């Protein structure tokens, strides 16, 4: 067990000492960990386990703050829970706080439901 702890500490030190990645809008954290799995075996496994968990602790107001940019003609076949999960994860990963107008949000949701109903 001490050997495993030493490996984890070594990986963590290497990870923390590595230059920071430049985050761009197209940054995919899962692909990053997949590319670096040989360097950070234990950390990559931990990241996979953590990032695979559905983000359900984000309030619904902030969860749908980007709904206009998530639902389009190619993604309208996703189920509501899947869309909510994707939006929550996106907001969580970006780590920003966004003020939400709940009435506008509800109007937008009604509009998307009507559009999806017409497309079916």
Q: CB-side exposure of 77: number of CA atoms within 13 Å?
A: 2
pLDDT one-digit tens code per residue, 77-101: 667 777 777 777 777 777 655 566 7
pTM, two decimals, is 0.38
Please say whether the beta carbons of 64 and 80 come within 8 A.
no
pLDDT one-digit tens code per residue, 43-66: 888 888 888 755 555 555 555 555
CA-to-CA separations, 118 to 19, 20, 114, in angstroms, rounded: 50, 46, 6
Domain ranges of the chain: 1-53, 54-120
Of 108, 21, 22, which Cα lies nearest the Cα of 64?
108
Please say whether the beta carbons of 83 and 71 come within 8 A.
yes
pLDDT one-digit tens code per residue, 13-54: 888 888 888 877 788 888 888 999 998 888 888 888 888 755
């Amino acid at each position: 067990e001490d050997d495993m702890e030493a490996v984890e500490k070594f990986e963590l030190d290497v990870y923390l000492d590595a230059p920071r990645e430049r985050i761009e809008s197209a940054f995919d954290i899962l692909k990053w960990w997949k590319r670096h799995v040989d360097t950070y075996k234990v950390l990559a496994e931990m990241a996979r386990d953590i990032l695979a968990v559905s983000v359900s602790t984000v309030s619904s107001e902030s969860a749908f703050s980007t709904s206009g940019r998530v639902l389009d003609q190619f993604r309208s076949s996703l189920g509501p829970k899947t869309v909510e999960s994707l939006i929550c994860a996106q907001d969580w990963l970006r780590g920003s706080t966004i003020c939400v107008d709940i009435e506008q949000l509800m109007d937008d949701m009604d509009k998307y439901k009507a559009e999806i109903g017409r497309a079916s």
